[in-house]
């Protein structure tokens, strides 16, 4: 069984032209169908029943059932002569049997348990579901995007079922569609507010680091022991330092005492933005969306770009010289 995402278009194309070329390695479609036929001539034993068979048999790949000896069955169960075996799984003949089976199972569950009470999506446990690429990777099958979308709709609907009433089978079935690494489980350590009512936020930008103690107050700011106007000569820098408070209309409700180190004025001012924003979030976690809109939640990862050889600076080309 091959993870055949690369071979999807390739296989049918090869099928017509290079049958003789690949005949030994790859079974053509007719041959594969023959393998399904109940032929007494075939030696009983393990055979690859996949629509595509790889050169090697991997661990855990689908293995065909042993050949059914129909003649014996005829005699034992008095079956009709023209009876034939039908695969258990309806996806037996599809290219994506693993996915298909799961999909069908989920579909069945949604029909069965569709009437169970649900909770709003905002209250459900946040789970990162596998993306299409993840799904193809893990099942090793060329899952169609439309199928994936349909499947995901069912998954989300099933996930909404009230957790106390959710059957275990559903939970089990959904587990296969969870991403391996659940980013939502990474919860940052909450910033405590100490007995003096201070919250300490730390922010960085370029080469600067800022620590800001934010307490409830009336809008005073001290940076490294100086007032904001003393410390930052540019009005723009002052504005960006208190931007988090300004954007949330909290400038008259908090006092800030900060230490800033490293870098230049702009870097220090913007490091302060982040530090104050984090400390403010400790006081009022509900401000997070507002602060995110203000652009003060995410650290700006940009640094000085390194100089490259053959260039004057990071990108500047050397001066053109005629000779």
Residues within the interface to another protein (CB under 8 A): 218-221, 227-230, 235, 238-239, 242, 246, 249, 251-252
Nearer to another protein, 187 or 235 (CB): 235
Q: What backbone torsions phi and psi does residue 65 show, to the nearest 5 degrees?
A: -70, 155
CB of 245 to another protein, least distance (A): 8
CB of 270 to another protein, least distance (A): 16
CB of 247 to another protein, least distance (A): 11
Q: What span, in angstroms and rounded, lies between the C-alpha atoms of 270 and 262? A: 12
CB of 215 to another protein, least distance (A): 14
CB of 242 to another protein, least distance (A): 6
Distance of CA 89 to the CA centre of its chain: 30
Nearer to another protein, 76 or 322 (CB): 322
- The Cβ of residue 267 has, within 10 Å, a number of other Cβ atoms equal to 20
Residues 158-189: b if buried by 16+ CB within 10 A, e if exposed = bbbbeeeebeeebeebbebbeeeeeeeeeeee
Nearer to another protein, 144 or 259 (CB): 259
DSSP characters over 203-231: EEETTEEEEEEEEESSS-EEETTEEHHHH
List Cβ neighbours of 310 (8 Å cut-off, separation of 6 or more). 318
Nearer to another protein, 109 or 254 (CB): 254
Q: What span, in angstroms and rounded, lies between the C-alpha atoms of 278 and 313? A: 35
CB of 255 to another protein, least distance (A): 10
Where do the DSSP E strands lie in the chain? 199-205, 208-216, 221-223, 226-227, 254-261
DSSP characters over 132-192: HHHHHHHHTS---HHHHHHHHHHHHHHHTB-TTT--HHHHHHHHTTB-SS-GGG--PPPPP
Nearer to another protein, 79 or 229 (CB): 229
Nearer to another protein, 158 or 271 (CB): 271
CB of 235 to another protein, least distance (A): 5
Nearer to another protein, 169 or 229 (CB): 229
- Name 260's bridge partners: 210
């Amino acid at each position: 069984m091959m993870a055949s995402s690369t071979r999807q278009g390739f296989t049918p194309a090869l099928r017509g032209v290079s049958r003789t070329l690949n005949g030994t390695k790859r079974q053509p479609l007719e041959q594969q169908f023959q393998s399904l036929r109940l032929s007494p001539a075939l030696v009983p034993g393990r055979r690859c029943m996949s629509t595509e068979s790889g050169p090697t048999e991997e661990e855990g790949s689908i293995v065909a059932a042993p050949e059914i000896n129909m003649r014996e069955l005829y005699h034992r169960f008095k079956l009709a002569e023209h009876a034939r075996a039908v695969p258990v799984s309806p996806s037996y003949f599809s290219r994506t049997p693993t996915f298909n089976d799961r999909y069908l199972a989920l579909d069945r569950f949604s029909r069965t348990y569709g009437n169970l009470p649900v909770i709003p999506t905002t209250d459900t446990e946040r789970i990162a579901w596998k993306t299409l690429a993840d799904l193809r990777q893990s099942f090793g099958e060329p899952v169609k995007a439309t199928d994936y979308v349909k499947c995901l709709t069912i998954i989300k609907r099933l996930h909404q079922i009230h957790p106390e009433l959710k059957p275990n089978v559903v939970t089990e079935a959904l587990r296969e569609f969870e991403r391996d690494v659940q980013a939502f489980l990474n919860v940052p350590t909450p910033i405590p507010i100490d007995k003096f009512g201070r919250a300490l936020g730390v922010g960085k930008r370029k080469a600067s680091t800022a620590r800001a103690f934010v307490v409830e107050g009336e809008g005073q700011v001290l940076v490294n022991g100086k007032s904001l106007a003393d410390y930052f000569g540019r009005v723009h820098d002052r504005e960006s330092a208190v931007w988090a408070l300004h954007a949330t209309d909290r400038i008259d409700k908090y006092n800030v005492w900060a230490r800033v180190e490293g870098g230049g004025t702009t870097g220090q001012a913007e490091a302060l933005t982040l530090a104050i924003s984090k400390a403010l979030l400790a006081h009022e976690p509900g401000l997070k969306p507002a602060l995110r809109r203000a652009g003060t939640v995410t650290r700006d990862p940009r640094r000085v770009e390194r100089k490259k050889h053959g260039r004057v600076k990071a990108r500047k080309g050397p001066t053109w010289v005629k000779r």
